[in-house]
Amino acid sequence: MMQSKNNRQHKGAPHGQAMIGAAVAGMIAMLSASQGLAQVQGPSTLQTPYVLPVAPGVVTLSVASNGNSSANAPDETFARTGGGAPYRLVGIPDGMGAYNNADGQTFTLLVNHELGATVGIPRAHGTAGSFVSKWIIDKNTKAVISASDLITNVAPVAGGAAPFGRFCSADLAAPGAYFNASTSTGTQERIYLHGEEIGAEGRNFGTVVSGPNAGTTHFLPAMGKFSWENSVAAPLSGNKTVVWSYDDSTPGEVYLYVGDKQNTGNEIDRAGLNNGKTFGLVVPGVPTESRTTGIGGTSTAFTLTDLSTSQTGTGAAFQTASSAAGVTQFLRPEDGHWDPSNPAVNYFVTTDRFDSTKNGTGTQVGRSRLWRTTLNDMNNPTGGNIEMLMDGTEAHQMLDNMTTVLGVDGQTRLLLQEDPGGVSHSARIWLYDPQTDALSEMAKFDAARFGDVGIDAVAPFNQDEESSGIIDARDTLGLGWFMVNVQSHYQQSLVGSPHAAELVEGGQLIAMYIPQAVGVPEPTAAAALAGVAGAALLRRRRNLK
């Protein structure tokens, strides 16, 4: 089992660490002078990154993979936190969150796995289906120390029982989202939001991450039922708890939940996630986004309509109420994120469909777009303004996941991930600058594995791939670092994997360094790559054993 070596390295003697440090210093110079190590195989996986850098200075490092996916390939396993049977990276990783650990040397990465409710093997919460994995990773070498399931207990909320289906994107909000320090109201425990993308009856959940009840998940009925892509809590919202949510349907709606923080009850109660109202976003006169005209302009006002009388009922009833109230339907709302430089601003993307006219393979037009909303009052939101920042004619295809990034220059930029589906198109990761309206390609999938226009995929891989779950990892890995994951949509059962029932599909966790996202000039990026050099050296030492 590879992980035993990871543990020995993590506890290495000072002399060994000094040798690594000296070697790292030399390797940094190599990294800054050449892009040859921009694609780095991490110390805890047998596979190189599935996503390759495109822009100068960008680095991708594979952290964990779920096996080479054939009957005679090595089994990639990891130590299970607390002991027990080996742990594996299950397929269809999606939304993520991360936080530092008390030891100062490691961080914890939370990962959704978007499995259907009857798929996979029984997890720590008692059933098969969707779950959240929890990875402890060395901050310097990116080596996996151990892993386990996050959810170990399901709170007895009516309608909230397992199994769970298709946890999609996720939000591990900053502590200020659920605690007002000026009034000491709310909870300081971290809460991880993740919903089911299963159609109209999808449920949203909040899992407690810290404190004595860590590992307990709670169904959140006050936020409504629909096909959840994500719910993102405003990092700073005073005594109010403000959460944007996105219905990944064709078409789908955008909702705002507003609750009140409390000083009594469990963590979810104190966070204000049980007592609020859900509102629908209404662009007056625009019941449905048009592929041709959008919402009738690039910027317009919106209102919020109260749906609280139907928010705790069935998803079908909630959809009926939304339609009756004129809630605007968009072309598949997907992920969203708050602006770190303006607490009232939120961005979200709509996926729509593949545009085959862009790559010359067909005549179908798609209009995947980027939107920005600004609330009129964070303490009592009644509406605001919505802007279409990208109209869908740009170079991208089918935007899905995203994050916002605060640069050293104080400017906000966005990283956007594509989900083109099973077509001949290598999925990209893009950087968008709202100040200049510039869209730049940062990375793309390895065409030698997944194919591209005019290039066939190589088994076991196919052309149905996407990166997902991107999060800013500056607090754990340093400025300019991000964590992403890969959904490689081939069936493990079709390629002879001995652990197909557990793994389900292909997948990988990746650390990425993107200096452009934080406004760092590429020549100054070398110092941030020490961890990459350390990871490469650690793998070299293991290969020599």
Residue 68, domain member (yes or no): no
Q: Tell me how crowded residue 312 is: count the other CB atoms within 10 A of its CB.
A: 16
Decide if pLDDT at 31 tops 90.
no
Average pLDDT rounded to a whole number, residues 467-496: 93
Fill in the amino acid letter for 93. Answer: P
- Tell me if 376 is assigned to some domain: yes
Whole-model pTM?
0.92
Classify residue 109: in a domain, yes or no: yes
pLDDT, mean of residues 382-391: 98
Mean pLDDT (whole number) for 477-485: 98
Residue 181 has pLDDT above 80, yes or no: yes
pLDDT at 7 over 90: no
Stretch 378-399: mean pLDDT: 97
Q: Among 17-21, 191-195, 531-535, where is mean pLDDT lowest?
A: 17-21
Share of the chain above pLDDT 70, in %: 88
> What integer is the mean pLDDT of 228-254?
96
The 10s digit of each residue's pLDDT in 46-105 is 999 999 999 999 999 999 999 765 656 678 999 999 999 999 999 999 999 999 999 999
383-387: long-range pairs with CB below 8 Å, 24+: 383/301, 383/302, 383/303, 383/304, 384/301, 384/302, 384/344, 385/299, 385/300, 385/301, 385/302, 386/281, 386/283, 386/295, 386/299, 386/300, 386/301, 386/302, 387/298, 387/299
Do 173 and 235 form a contact (C-beta atoms < 8 A)? yes
In a domain, 31, yes or no: no
pLDDT digits (tens, 9 = 90+) for 413-453: 999 999 999 998 999 999 999 999 999 999 999 999 999 99
pLDDT of 519 above 80: yes
Give just the sign of the alpha carbon dihedral 213, 219, 220, 221: negative
**pLDDT value at residue 328:** 99
Q: Compute the average pLDDT of residues 255-260.
A: 98
Q: Answer for the pair 519, 408: CB distance below 8 angstroms, yes or no.
A: yes
Q: Look at residue 529 in the predicted model and tell me its pLDDT.
A: 61
Task: Give the pLDDT confidence score for residue 494 in this predicted structure.
Answer: 75
Q: How many domains does the structure of the chain reveal?
A: 1
Which pLDDT does position 67 carry in this prediction?
A: 74
| pLDDT-based confidence at residue 330 (cuts at 50, 70, 90) | very high
Q: How confident is the model at residue 28 (pLDDT cuts 50, 70, 90)?
A: very low
Q: What's the pLDDT score for residue 259?
A: 98
- Tell me what the mean pLDDT of segment 216-236 comes to: 98
Q: How confident is the model at residue 13 (pLDDT cuts 50, 70, 90)?
A: very low
Question: In the predicted model, is pLDDT for residue 242 greater than 70?
Answer: yes
Please check the confidence at residue 543 and state whether its pLDDT lies above 70.
no
- Segments forming the whole domain that contains residue 125: 80-472
pLDDT exceeds 50 at position 14: no
How confident is the model at residue 532, as a pLDDT?
63
Specify if 501 maps to a domain.
Answer: no
Instruction: State the Cα–Cα distance between residues 370 and 347, nearest whole angstrom.
Output: 7
Residue with tokens 């955008």: 254
pLDDT of residue 540: 57
Three-state DSSP at 333 gives strand
Quick one: pLDDT at residue 243?
A: 99
Residue 530 included in any domain: no
pLDDT in tens, 140-168: 999 999 999 999 999 999 999 999 999 99
In this prediction, residue 1 carries a pLDDT of 37
What is the structure's pLDDT at 498?
A: 82
CA 97 to chain centre: 7
Report if residue 39 sits inside a domain.
no
pLDDT the model gives residue 27 = 43
pLDDT of residue 496: 74
Average pLDDT score over residue span 462-490:
96
Q: What is the pLDDT of residue 495?
A: 74
Give residue 25's pLDDT band: very low, low, confident or very high (50, 70, 90): very low
User: What would the mean pLDDT of 17-45 be, rounded to a whole number?
Assistant: 57
Mean pLDDT of the chain: 91
Sheet of 144-149, strand order: 93-100, 106-113, 131-138, 144-149
Question: Is it the case that residue 237 has pLDDT exceeding 90?
Answer: no
Residue 347 lies in a domain: yes
β-bridge pairing 254-260 and 240-247 = antiparallel
Question: Which runs of consecutive H residues, i.e. helices, occur in 453-505?
Answer: 500-503
Residue ranges of E strands in 197-318:
204-208, 216-219, 228-233, 240-247, 254-260, 277-282, 299-306
- Please report, for the domain that includes residue 328, its CATH number: 2.120.10.30
- With a cut of 70, say whether residue 8 has pLDDT above it: no
